[in-house]
Amino acid sequence: MREAVRVVVFGAHPDDDDIKVGGTAALWAERGDAVLFVSLTSGDAGHQTMAGGELARRRRTEAEAAAAALGVRYQVCDHRDGALQPTLALRDEVIGIIRQARADLVLLPRPWDYHPDHRAVAQVVQDAAYMVTVPNVAPLVPHLEQNPVFAYVSDRFTRPGPFQPDVVVDTTPSVERKLDALNCHVSQVFEWLPYNNGTLDQVPADAAGRRRWLQHWVEGDAAQAHRCRAQLDRRYGPIRAAAVRYAEAFECCELGRRASPEELDDLFPR
């Protein structure tokens, strides 16, 4: 019998993980794996009219609803949105989260990104990648005897180097569940991010229209499937790969344990 994979996904804000990993997370949950989404900030700054504790509580509630839609757990930390720093204290906190989850696989953003909080998450999780195995670091939580595999979620940034996927997952079967999760993040997908992008006037007022409007949130997954067609062919075979409409991709981080191609194939759902 296959052992369940234990996955921890780190983001800076409630909704970051859903956007990058929602489709794959739903597939993990479907096959019985344990998935923990972690937001290292409360998201208390991400809105045009709300802020502070009121917004943080709203976003935590949204994250809990999204977690239920995907079949995962969501942990929202209480650090301030827009002020995250990769401190030693935060590193110890991240080490504790990874150890308590007994993670086999840890996902994180790459260390270059438009948002300073995202960069801070990348730095602090990378800094934790080896330390989770060191008994005398954050000693109140028992250390891991084997380092997890660490992998980056995809991004569009090309400098100093472009994202280079090592694993591509067909998320066509789970794209609707990903959209269900994103639909829970009302404060972000229908309010703050459209406001910040200058498209708030395009957001439909009715629930059915909003659900259809959400489709543009997975256009990047469709583009990912197109870009990674050769890798999909190798992983799924040409017949199934030809039917893939949406995909999420991951790049191995060299700071964690090096996994064989066979192990990577087992860690990520097919």
Write the CA distances from 154 to 62, 151, 184, 224, integer angstroms: 23, 10, 22, 9
SS3 sequence of 168-208: EEECHHHHHHHHHHHHHCHHHHHHHHHHHHCCHHHCCCCHH
Across the strands, what pairs with 153? 250
The residue to which tokens 């989770």 are assigned: 132
Work out the percent of the chain whose per-residue pLDDT is above 90: 99
Q: Which two tokens stand for residue 124?
A: 């602090």
- pLDDT bin (cut points 50, 70, 90) of residue 1 is low
Average pLDDT over residues 125-143: 97
Give the rounded percent of residues in the chain with a pLDDT score beyond 70. 100
- Asked if the model's pLDDT at residue 2 lies above 90, the reply is no
Task: Determine the straight-line distance between the first and last CA of the chain, rounded to whole angstroms.
Answer: 17
pLDDT band at 179 (very low <50, low <70, confident <90, very high): very high
| pLDDT band, residue 72 (cuts 50/70/90) | very high
Of how many residues is the chain composed?
270
pLDDT band at 186 (very low <50, low <70, confident <90, very high): very high
Helix runs in the chain, H state only: 16-30, 52-70, 88-101, 116-131, 175-184, 186, 193-197, 207-213, 219-227, 229-236, 238-242, 261-267
- Distance of alpha carbon 168 from alpha carbon 33, whole angstroms: 18
pLDDT at 33: 98
pLDDT above 70 for 263:
yes
* Ordered structural domains, the chain, with CATH: 6-168+249-267 (3.40.50.10320)
Span 81-131, pLDDT tens digits: 999 999 999 999 999 999 999 999 999 999 999 999 999 999 999 999 999
195-248: pLDDT as tens digits:
999 999 999 999 999 999 999 999 999 999 999 999 999 999 999 999 999 999
In whole angstroms, give the CA distance from residue 218 to residue 81: 25
